[in-house]
Chains A and B, each alone.
Chain A
């Protein structure tokens, strides 16, 4: 790529960002009301003012919720899928339960989670756990079932033990569909986290949005909303990088659909 072309490639995304910022600025001028539509500059100042005080604390709280809930949910989903993949009777029992619970979105669990755990960090953690569990279970099990039987037989013929077979053949082959499930679920998981913090949390970026609303500091509300976007974007990017790294051996990692 020649330098001029590279410059154009660099400028192009800026045009999109500039368009949105301009539209935002115009909207705030037209409404002429810094509460209704806080201007970009004011929100930027709010962001700078927040970074020294509550913001790091809130971001860490949300990330802790996400990390605990997602890893426990993913680990359990993975474990159940591996067991179900090797024990047909277990699969027959758990499959209908997964199919039954899967359509019930984590959001629908919020009131019951509040009732069971009380308002606090356990609510968002539980929601993320639940949001990660089923897509990863279903995705992994689906992947396991589609493993090329020739691979399994070849490994057996070469004397692979059950554990080796599961960890070195079946699981890697199930990885693409596991990641597909994980990435599709991340959108709902992220919304469940924010909603859980808004409705039933006592810390985190979602909770803070509501806190600022109570004081009618709409510039800070908007700044916190932008932080939600940045965090969600980072989580997706991280998962995509992990996917690319784990699935290096796959010829083409398809672009995201959804």
Chain B
């Protein structure tokens, strides 16, 4: 298909030029129609970003959100990995619990938000519940696949060489299952990050205009939308959310290659 491949220079320059041109056209269009404030403009986004970073608002909100993501992710892993390994290695357990787990997995975590608020309150624990719920299922799915896919011949070989149960678990099962579980962790963390934003948005809607302190990036966005009506800041928040997702994905791939060099993905 790629008979006429582009040169390396063109592949970098072309998209950059198009992006720059788009930004200029966008900026000019906003200025000419005098619609800035209703629609975002590139210069406004940069200015809003600068103010938010300088004032520390975004840093506070992000550290709140990221803290909850990491705690929720850890809870999800602590619940999900043992469950996944159990149903992956015992077929009867898999047949008993997979249907009900599939059903629970299909409930979008954000749908739990009213119950989570009722049980844990709006101050952050409700968002934590949503994140942990969302993060648990990628762990379960991948840990169960990992347990099922560990090469039986390796186990047989280890046993033939006189390894006991503990040694098989430590030297064969765990290293064999690690890469798949790590992939699950990557999916879980990405999903956890999307979930926290959703949960904080939903909580923000509930408490918007009540003068409560802003706890995370989602609440900050709701406040920006309904109280401050600052379009440029909204787009800046979106970019920040995207950058965090990007760093999570790339960063964890790097870590995986470093820590688990025997894994392919």
Binding site for B on A (CB under 8 A): 9, 12-13, 15-17, 19-20, 35-36, 85-86, 88-89, 92-93, 95-97, 100-101, 103-105, 107-112, 114-115, 144-145, 147, 149, 152, 170, 187-188, 190-195, 198-199, 206, 209-210, 212-213, 218, 221-222, 224-226, 228-233, 236, 255-258
Contact = CB atoms under 8 A, between A and B. Distances in A.
Contacts of A152: 1
Contacts of B239: 104
B111 A228 contact: yes
Contacts, number: 185
26 contacts: A13-B96, A17-B100, A35-B118, A36-B118, A85-B1, A88-B2, A92-B14, A104-B239, A104-B245, A107-B198, A110-B221, A111-B222, A112-B231, A112-B238, A144-B1, A147-B1, A190-B106, A191-B108, A191-B195, A198-B110, A199-B201, A206-B108, A218-B118, A222-B115, A229-B103, A233-B103
Contact of B197 (A103, A105, A212, A255): A105
B129 interface: no
A232 B194 contact: no
Interface string B41-72: 00000000000000000000000000000000
A112 B101 CA distance: 34
Contacts of B25: none
B149 to A, nearest CB: 10
Given A13-B99, A108-B237, A257-B142, A115 B231 contact: yes
Given A195-B202, A257-B141, 4 more contacts: A88-B5, A104-B242, A104-B245, A198-B111
A92 B11 contact: yes
A48 B122 CA distance: 30
A108 B106 contact: no
A86 B2 CA distance: 8
Interface string B82-104: 00000000001001111111111
Question: Most chain-A CB neighbours within 10 Å: which of B14, B113, B145, B239?
Answer: B113
Contact of A16 (B96, B142, B180): B96
A255 B145 contact: yes
A52 B31 CA distance: 53
Nearest to B244: A103
B141 A213 contact: no
A224 to B, nearest CB: 8
Interface of B: 1-2, 4-6, 10-11, 14-15, 18-19, 92, 95-104, 106-115, 118-119, 134, 138, 141-142, 145, 180, 183-184, 187, 191, 193-195, 197-198, 201-202, 205, 221-222, 224-225, 231, 234-235, 237-239, 241-243, 245-246, 249
A257 B118 contact: no
Contacts of A256: 141
Contacts of B243: 103
Contacts of A236: 106
A231 B183 CA distance: 27
Given A198-B202, A199-B201, A218-B118, A187 B191 contact: yes
B1 A86 contact: yes
B115 A97 contact: no
Nearest to B195: A191
B110 A191 contact: yes
Contacts of A112: 231, 234-235, 238
B111 A225 contact: yes
A19 to B, nearest CB: 8
A218 B108 contact: no
B114 A218 contact: yes
B187 A104 contact: no
A225 B112 contact: yes
Nearest to A189: B108
B18 to A, nearest CB: 5
Given A13-B100, A17-B100, A257-B141, A92 B15 contact: yes
